[in-house]
Amino acid sequence: MRPQWLVAVVSLVAMLIALGCSTPGSAGSRILKQVDMDVSWAMTRFRNGASAGAVTLGEKEQVNSAYAAYQTAYREALQATHGDRNTPAPDNVKTLATQVIGAISAIPF
């Protein structure tokens, strides 16, 4: 049985990362590179859990779907900035990143 407090702590940390809580008011000014690093970290955790057999088929489908939508929006945003990852991330990219991280955080590894 997995400790419920651990799941709650991991979920909270992931959401804080997704929201960019490093400094007050910074969530609105996160750059594409920061958002992508947050998602990449979460996806590495997810892939490790999936490799260990700790993820159900439904969880895999949910995360993969959210990640595909994020990747599409991220690529479009990156193309619009001519590859400049230091540009502020558009709201849709940040929202989709939060959805990916939230879906992964909901999985009790």
51-67 tens-digit pLDDT: 999 999 999 999 999 99
87-97 tens-digit pLDDT: 999 999 999 99
Q: What are phi and psi of 21, to 5 degrees?
A: -85, 20
Count structural domains, the chain.
1
Question: Cβ-count burial of 63 within 10 angstroms (0-12 exposed, 13-18 middle, 19+ buried)?
Answer: buried
Residue 93 belongs to domain spanning: 4-105
* Helix/strand/coil percent split, the chain, to 5: 70, 0, 25
